[in-house]
Structure 1
Amino acid sequence: MKYKYQLITLGSDVRERQIIINQIREDLRNLKLPEEFIKVIPASSIEDEYKGNQPAFALYFGDTSSDFKDLDVTQKLLKDGTMILPIFYDSFETDIPRVLENQNAIKYSENELNRITNVVLEAFELLRSTRKVFISYRRAESTGVAIQLYEALEAYNFDVFLDTHSIQKGEPFQDELWHRMTDCDVIVLLNTPGFLESHWCKEEFAEANAKQIGIVQLVWPNHQIKDIDKSSYLCYPIQLSENDFTKKKYDKTDQLVESMIENIIVEVESVRARNLAARQDNLITEFRNMAEKNNRIVTVQPEKILTEDRPTGEHIIYIPTIGIPRSTSCQSAEIKKELMGYDEVSIRLIYDDLRIRDKWLQHLEWLNDNFKKDIKTLKKQEFQGWLQKS
């Protein structure tokens, strides 16, 4: 298989280097992509193996003794515009060389492992760069924890939806809520004893299942998961205990201890890739099955995109797009077009339009009519009509 994504490792030869590489390979398996999809290139092999015309991302492993290595290669990559993520252990100022002082860095810890690997996947457009979380809860039972999670996840650079904080005045409440759920990566569901007694909470749970959105489910100490709670296709339950709460009351005024908040953030980060893979697979399967019914031959590529070579000589790439297509989706499409080696090709970003607000669908249609002719969006309800074209 031809390598398409280059991960360059710079700096100290520490054990964390292999830990991160192993985690990236596991994430690729979770995404159902070949492990060799990303080629790891040490600094010593740059001259022989690095290809300037293929996507690259670098990790610089710092040194607690300030014994910095690979500075010439690092400077060359910076001049080439390659993104470099410094990883430090004690102090950024002492562990990382000055040439990288303007780069955002991450302090290594086991809790940050998924975050580091997700940054790599996002850089290669294998995981979307938007990091959206939806908090589902019952106000009468868990407001304190909901707000606490909102603030903690926001501080961790997630775009968090919380009904009391995220809907502007004058917007149709329920339409916007479904819209934001459709566009999220993960749902954090606060499963309190009365959660499913609320009509709207039950609707949110059913909607998450229907769209196969991953759920990190926090189960209150005085509550057990019922059969209906286990029906989620991608549900990751965390059973809370009395000691996980600061006041040990676990009512709407109580909050979680800091260590549990950290555990939840780690789980949310971990679930993102698994959830993306499931939703991509679902969209790919539906489109491919409908294509077969209409005698259209589409091929699923290892990159988890579909290609079609029409009898007319036209080449089409179909890219499954999770959530709501944006301009960044078009940029990602351009990269995939180059990697596939096509010169003349049209691209369709296929997506599930269920619960997306009309005003946004109208905006996407306007973009289709007024911008690039070779990159357009194609919503699920129009798959049949598109595939029936001669």
Structure 2
Amino acid sequence: MDYKYQLILLGSEVEAKPKILSILFQKINDLGLPENILKIIEADKINSDYLGNQPAFGLYFGDVEGKHKHIDITDMLLKDGTMILPVYFGNPDGAFSKEIPNNLTNQNGIRFSENELDRIANIILESFELLRSTRKIFISYKRNESTSVAIQLYEALESYNYDVFLDTHTIGKAEPFQDELWHRMTDCDVIVLLNTPKFLESHWCKEEFAEAGTKKIGLVQLVWPHHDIKKIDSGSHLSYPLILKESDFVASIYDDKDKSKLVDIMVKEIIQKVESVRARNLASRQDNLITEFRNIAVECGRTVNVQPEKFLTENLPSGKRIIYIPTIGIPQSTSCQSAEIRHEIEINKDTSVRLIYDDLRIRDKWIKHLDWLNDNFKKDILTLKKQEFKSWLQTTK
């Protein structure tokens, strides 16, 4: 690959650096992307290795003694429009302003800890548009068993900039409840499922669990104390259980729907697990959509090629080229704005883009909206829903 995502490492030499790179490459593997998609540039190689016309993101590692390095490089990157994430290490009070140079003090930073590794790696991937920046979580629970914990997790995940769906807090007045629930589940990254003893006795909880399996959505299961996980584990596509103990609840109260609360350390562990599952879940759902589209294309006599960056291309006899981008959840315009896609369009001007997506359970009003956009706006960037894959491939040349 001659087109790379540049990660620039600035500031102090710290033990955190190899740990972040290790988890970052692990996530790149989880996404099914080639490792050489990422180019690591140390500060002393910036003049020889950095290319201003290719996507870049910077990490600035703070110095606990306040000895700031690479100020000139940081200024240059900021002028180029490069995002830089400050990472600091000392106690929260005053550590950021001491460890991070003045030209970065208006940036939001992260205080490093082992628990933040997944979050830092995901921020890097989001900045490169390799992982979508909308961070959508769906909480599935039984109201008469775990309402207080569901609300606690809703508030905790929102504080970490997740867009959280919780039925009692999220669905607006006069909205069709069940349609909106399925719609939001389809568009989520991960489901946090509160696996309480009578969860499956609820018709709708059982439906939500089955829907997660059908849509291949990853589950972070919180299994209540003294509950048998085998009762719910069989139908899940990607399931990551956390077996809770009585001591994981404040005052060991785990069976009161209004009073039960998780201890802070467990809440942080759950958020960390959600962060770690996002990339794997996205990759799995993309792979499923790619496989289905490619199989239909072969059946229709079309030749589509899967690129290492997980989009598909087709060269037509007319000389035109089509890029198919697998889109998870509801298609957004940002899905076709990744650097690699822009590069593909730049080198072949006679290129059109199709955002392919699974329309199952997406609300009719959104489907109609996307169809309207197809009919009325730019014809070289269109959406293509799963139920029309075959008819479109059979008739379009």
Same fold (TM over 0.5): yes
Q: Which residue of 1 aligns with 2:118?
A: 114
Out of 318, 328, 337, which is 1:322 matched to? 328
Q: Which residue of 1 aligns with 2:252?
A: 248
Paired residues for 1:46-195 under 5 Å: 46-90=46-90, 91-195=95-199
Out of 236, 245, 261, which is 1:232 matched to? 236
Encode CA deviations 1:133-176: one digit per residue, 9 max, x unaligned.
00000001000100000000001110000000000000000000
Size of the aligned set, in residue pairs, is 389
Q: Which residue of 2 aligns with 1:42?
A: 42
Structure 1 unmatched ranges of 5 or more: none
Q: Which residue of 1 aligns with 2:383?
A: 377
Q: Which residue of 2 aligns with 1:295?
A: 301
Q: Which residue of 1 aligns with 2:355?
A: 349
Q: Is the 8 A contact 2:325 2:335 kept in 1?
A: no
Letter in 1 for 2:163: D
1:229 aligned counterpart, secondary structure: coil
Out of 342, 348, 367, which is 1:337 matched to? 342
- Counterparts of 2:205 and 2:299, CA distance in 1: 37
Question: Is 1:263 aligned to 2:269, yes or no?
Answer: yes
- Counterparts of 1:372 and 1:338, CA distance in 2: 19
- Counterparts of 1:362 and 1:233, CA distance in 2: 30
2:103 aligned counterpart, secondary structure: helix
- Alignment CA distance shift 1:379-1:219 (3 Å): same
Shift of 1:369: 2.0
Encode CA deviations 1:201-242: one digit per residue, 9 max, x unaligned.
000000000000000000000211125423311000010001
Shift of 1:339: 4.5
Q: Is the 8 A contact 1:132 1:158 kept in 2?
A: yes
TM-score under structure 1 length normalisation: 0.98
2:323 aligned counterpart, secondary structure: strand
Q: Is the 8 A contact 1:85 1:104 kept in 2?
A: yes
Q: Which residue of 2 aligns with 1:219?
A: 223
Moved more, 46-55 or 119-128: 46-55
- Counterparts of 1:112 and 1:366, CA distance in 2: 42
- Counterparts of 2:117 and 2:37, CA distance in 1: 20
Q: Is the 8 A contact 1:3 1:38 kept in 2?
A: no
Shift of 1:330: 3.9
- Counterparts of 2:158 and 2:304, CA distance in 1: 40
Letter in 2 for 1:23: I
Letter in 1 for 2:130: L
- Cα RMSD after superposing both structures: 1.2
- Counterparts of 2:322 and 2:342, CA distance in 1: 10
1:230 aligned counterpart, secondary structure: coil
- Counterparts of 2:189 and 2:229, CA distance in 1: 23
Q: Is the 8 A contact 1:3 1:39 kept in 2?
A: no
Encode CA deviations 1:225-281: one digit per residue, 9 max, x unaligned.
125423311000010001011132312121111110000000001000000000000
TM-score under structure 2 length normalisation: 0.96
Shift of 1:335: 5.2
Moved more, 44-53 or 191-200: 44-53
- Counterparts of 2:245 and 2:209, CA distance in 1: 23
Shift of 1:73: 0.7
Letter in 2 for 1:304: K
- Counterparts of 2:301 and 2:101, CA distance in 1: 58
Shift of 1:3: 4.0
Structure 2 unmatched ranges of 5 or more: none
- Counterparts of 1:115 and 1:8, CA distance in 2: 18
Shift of 1:385: 1.0
- Counterparts of 2:348 and 2:74, CA distance in 1: 32
Shift of 1:6: 0.6
- Counterparts of 1:268 and 1:11, CA distance in 2: 29
2:126 aligned counterpart, secondary structure: helix
- Counterparts of 1:101 and 1:369, CA distance in 2: 46
Q: Is the 8 A contact 2:253 2:261 kept in 1?
A: no
Shift of 1:34: 1.0
Q: Which residue of 2 aligns with 1:360?
A: 366
- Counterparts of 2:355 and 2:4, CA distance in 1: 21
Shift of 1:47: 1.2
Shift of 1:327: 2.8
- Counterparts of 2:353 and 2:375, CA distance in 1: 14
Letter in 1 for 2:269: N
Identity %: 65
Letter in 2 for 1:349: L
- Counterparts of 1:75 and 1:122, CA distance in 2: 22
Shift of 1:331: 3.0
Q: Is the 8 A contact 2:210 2:235 kept in 1?
A: no
Shift of 1:43: 1.3
2:349 aligned counterpart, secondary structure: coil
Shift of 1:52: 1.2
